[in-house]
Amino acid sequence: MIVISDYFTMDIFMHSSNVVEIASAISGEINLPGEENAILREAALYHDIGKSQIPEEILYKRGKLNAEEWEIMKKHPVYSQELYVKAWKGKRQSPVTGKSIRHHHENWDGTGYPDGISGKNIPLYSRIIKIADIFEAITEPRVYRSYRMDNALELMESIKGKEIDPVIFEKSYNKLKELLREKASW
């Protein structure tokens, strides 16, 4: 049985909910059909559920993770896929959703995890979630950083073609800029 703290539950739920909305906004910019947007939203919702398998002292550590802690943290996409498959076993589970969850930390240049795949070998939904996940992470305070980053789009521009799909990022740039303006007015 998995025991999850209330803080973890709310933190991950809020993050995942935000990623769902950002990913959906991106899908509108790349003209993803409605049924595909539904798959994307489901994958985005479950993308970090595997963090429930990561010890809280690693998950909420203030400061940089050491090499051993980082290796543990890098397992969460696999755990997320496994939990998704287990939760929906025998129901309306989608293998595409499971793969999209698993690969949301793959990098465009092949340096990501868990499988080190690259470019268009990374599922489309994973590439969208990656952009949404990074955008959400750098525009919201974190346990290890109590502030929002002001230069979010410049930072993302610097990882375009390395960590994130350059075409999807370019097509969604104006929407991300709009979302950033909305966040600034909160």
Active-site option among 51, 89, 130, 160: 51
The 10 Å Cβ neighbour count of residue 124 is: 18
108/184 Cα distance (integer angstroms): 29
Q: What is the largest CA-CA distance in the chain?
A: 45
Task: Please tell me the number of Cα atoms within 13 Å of 130 on its side-chain side.
Answer: 30
Angle in degrees, 0-180, between the axes of helices 34-46 and 6-29, rounded to the nearest 10: 150
115/1 Cα distance (integer angstroms): 28
The question of whether 51 is a catalytic residue gets the answer yes
| Catalytically annotated residues | 51
